[in-house]
Structure 1
Amino acid sequence: MIETSGQEAALIEAICQGDGLFAEFQPILDFRTARLSGYEGLVRGPVGTALARPLALFAAAKRLGRAHEVELQCRRTVLSAFARLGLPGKLFLNISPVEAVGHEPALALMQTLDFLHQIELTPDRIVLELTEHQPTLDLPETRATLQDYRALGFEIALDDLGEGYASLRLWSELRPDYVKIDQHFIDGIDTDSLKLQFVRSIRQIADTSGTRVIAEGIEQAAQFQVVRDLGIFFGQGYFIARPTALPDPELTPAVRVALSQRGAHMHPQPSRLGEGFALGNGAGTVAQLARYVLPVSPDELSEDVMARFERDSALEALPVVAGETPVGLISRSALLGRFARRFTRELYGRKPCSTLMENMPLVVEQNTRIEELSRLIADGTAHHLIGGFVVTEGDRYVGVVQGHALLRQITDMQLDAARYANPLTLLPGNVPIDDYIDYLLASRMPFQACYCDLDNFKPFNDVFGYRRGDDLIQALARVLMAVRNPACDFLGHIGGDDFLLLFQSADWESRCRAALERFEEVVGDFFGPDQIRAGGFEAEDRRGQVMLYPLTSLSIGAVVVEQDSYLSHVDVSVAAAEAKKMAKRQSGNSLFIERRRARRNT
């Protein structure tokens, strides 16, 4: 709905007189106590008008020179509703105190205090959210203004962290009590390792600075659990509750269920050897490779498309888009090859480019992971890699990716994985194993550390050779990958024939026993019939004497890690190694479980 300038001015006048605004409140959940700790107050403009949305409301107020008056009425509306409803906890006011004060900060402060006194609210119940989208914020003036508010008991929050021009600098300069992570970094955090690492880093900075972190935009249970497991204090979003004029003080059943499900989040590991791994520094999605190229319409003339390629030597492909939907792709090499033929320009130059386009290009969603795209390319034909492919959001065109960009990213991924992966199995090596144990300990989640080791592996290597020994190690890796739950269990390759399984699965013990059974089935393929009948193989011991060694078996030493039972990955690895030694004292495939809780140093 569009208002005339006169209608707009009348609406703003009514608002300044205290009529037309109302408030909604969105709860903020404290993950530590599983209770609502406060509400964000959201102002709404006159219903059914063009000023119903806050951005339109404030833009109109600014055009009419009445921004300060509207800001003041917005504060009063939200504060009045909060007091009238008797809502518990803190009220987060997302109206910037800096923009509202203009050149009279002392006056605005006194007006706010007077109104709080009238409605019987104290400043310590109020958190003022500062959202900054302008690059010209006067930091000294802002600091001074916020210091005045703080002196009276108000707290300060920095909204939309990670969005805008200089939010990290604002954090450093203003030292807010709260920071609210922009929704962009929460959306997809359960599958995007880069976002996971960003939020983890924010939490670490917050721990150092004494700032409390609020994750905004939590819309799914998976996001909820990842944010909670990262140690973020507070959460807000549609999954917890939508904004409403009459918020329910009770948690929804879905939130209560999500709170009861304990288990630290991990990103997917490979399902078979040779795929690398995705822990912490994940490969990312196609969106990070996509580059927007102004598309052409299907009826654009072929000679005009050719002229565009001639003007831009860096242009390698042009998407053909009808409306917002991609219908084809024209690559530079293909078009130049066509136009190099005799009479092609004369025959096709004045015809629509749709006659020359590839009408079945490779089209992928922007959230497609790069590993998946590489498999699509490998399973397809070579021209996709040469000509590039189209990226969409739903059915809407968003960009193109060139083959060389994909190859460069895959190469970087392989080099990055090689730094931390075991070269034989490409499973995470010692550095990511240690990091993940520390992550689980910091998350205060119970888990089981299971040290897996082959018995009589050295004599096996001596008799059958290192190549066959490598085959046996890879066979063990496949067995262990088959029994883990990739959604919550972590498998690392320490080195040689030593592996570490970090279980969060409730049925972890049966999974260990399944590993023993599976290994017993596959190990027979590594021995001859006579050795199987004899139950062993002959090899020299350390003194050079020939003796009969039992067939290679698997020993698993398990340690139950409970909350606060171990200080670091060093303690866990020592305990797991001791459990493995106990398992190896038993004959054949064996499992030893150390259930005694380690005593934490004080």
Structure 2
Amino acid sequence: MDLDAVISKKNLYPVFQPVVSLETGEVFGYEALARTEPDVFSGPITQLFSAAEKNGRLWELDKLCRKTAIKTARAMGLKRRLFLNISPESMYEHDFQEGFTRRQLAKYGIDPAELVLEITEHSENTTDKTPSLKDAADYYRQQGYRIAVDDVGSAYSGLQRVCALNPDFIKIDMGIIRGIEKDQVRQAMVKSLVTFCSSSGAGLVAEGIETAAELDELLSLGVMYGQGFFLAYPARTFTKTTSESYVRIMSFRHNKQVLADTAATHEKKKKNPDEIKKQPESRTVNAEGGHAVSALAAQGITQFPDTPAIDVLHLFQLHPDCALVTVVDAKKKVLGTMPRTVLLDLFGSQYGYSLHSHKLIRELMITDFLIIDGDAPVEEAASRAMARTEEKLYDPVIVGKNDSYIGIVTIKALLDSIVNVEVATRTQEISRKNRMLQEQQTIHDRDMRMAELVQKSFYSSKAPHTASWDCAFLFKPMSSVSGDVYDFYYNGDGELAGTSLFDVSGHGVASGLVGILSKYLAEQVFTSYGAKPLEKMLRQFNAELTKEKGMVENYLTGIFLRITENKIEYVNAGHTDVLVKTPAKKDCISVLGGSNSNFRGSFIGIEGLPDDYCTITQELTGETYLLLYTDCLTESRNLAGDELGVDRLKEIFARTPPGSAKEVLAYLLDIFEAFTEAVPLRDDLTVIVMKYSGNGSEKIHAKN
């Protein structure tokens, strides 16, 4: 061996072996290892370091290894921790203490905090130097470096040294790791180190992991980091964790989380069963627009085929809600299933435990299983699941993609989803119809507001007040647009010449439009007929209205009232009576035209009805009040369901104190509102009070 040639010609190059997080499966850092070309030195690298130590050239070799490692790591874009091996003897070298490593880091732009100085012992010579080694380790930690103790558990690295150095990382010697899944003593030792590191804050690294069984055991023991050929080989470039080990780590973490969540849910249900509420499910939509079954997939529990069957049995015993374990390979391809009932039957049979406790799960798993593509509709998944044989009918369904495992879905989840989808579909349809109705209502409300504005623009807003007549009125639609029609007419001198009041059948825009048409025609007929008999005027009005409204079904009741000095002419077409109050005749309320109502004619606007209208003439003497109203006034009810009625209205009108038309109207409405209380109007309401003051003789005439 030509040690001088190796050092002087720098015939060394670094390789980097990943230090893997056993929590995430990702690379945490890289350990730099020295290698030589075979034609330079073909033996184990440890022999080279032993020769350097014997020849007093260990520090030179250490410097060369460290320099090439830092330079190469920087050139490859180091983004992880870099573990550098140093011998304890090197830490006492003057050049080391003068900052050789720090200068190299500064030269290549690497933060000292990213460097882990890994103290590796190859002899017992440093045992007596532990106190000074501790001082050196503390010094370098203050410089920003991390400290690791290598090969813990070997002949040279005892717990005493670990306690003395208080390292940031503890690396377990590979001799402890080898075959650990079969050795309870080694398991106990590693478990104690896990506990120690958890308390001290140090990271625990298991070196030399070479088999899946060793990795599985270390995962179950709670080791934080791992290193070894099974996880990743040393290489000249920065490499990732092998696919098999990564899947194994993630599968373990996944199953652990599922079991923890299941246990937590069980515990929560025991303590607060009412607090477990069903959460709304997220939905995945397939290409056809339906709900994909993958949206229902729960994580489930997976195991590798070489898992002992007894371990799966224990898993079922610990977690009673787990109905099925899915067996997958390293690439998550589904190989089979192990239903709880099947495994319990196998172990529960005579000699079952003896026959199966040493078998692997691949020897017992069910290979005839149902796997459904994650994009398949829920309905299709349910149909295929329910088509299985009776013994498999209620087994969970495997959900996958290209045979790769996604999760499992229970039959209950499938059926619940179908019901929920049906409910959601119907709810959406109802919502759609509601939106349509709301849109129609919005349009209707807009039209009603427009119709209301138009109607108000046509109707009188002020009541007449002349030398002989004082009037007041209330016009109150049940909704926006009223089917009631009122108007006041004047002669050329501005004196009140008459009034009209009509009640159009129905409600809403149609009745409002017929009302506007009626008002227009009534005004035209009233002003054009002059002193002609009212019954003829009403017949003309009826004929014109029937013609103009065409097929519209609304009809009218109403009255015309014409005033000439102290004489009133009055015609009634199926309308409510006009009540007359003369204060001179105390408490006496009469009906204009007489109480037998034989002067009332037919409705207006219905073709074919007889136009048997009759004109009533009455002369007024002294102060007189006339009350005109639509039938809403007498037909409105109170909370007990009683109508106000004509008789009660007459009593109220009789008790009304004398006053202006406005005061009389206010009194009547106060009593009306007190009677009806909070009962809303069921029809349009119009009330007109007309007060006459003058002299004359009272005569009543009837003209046909």
Q: TM-score range by the shorter chain?
A: 0.3 to 0.5
Q: Structure 2 length normalisation: TM-score? A: 0.38
Higher Rg: 2
Q: Structure 1 length normalisation: TM-score? A: 0.44
Q: Which has the higher contact order (CA 8 A, sep 6+)?
A: 1
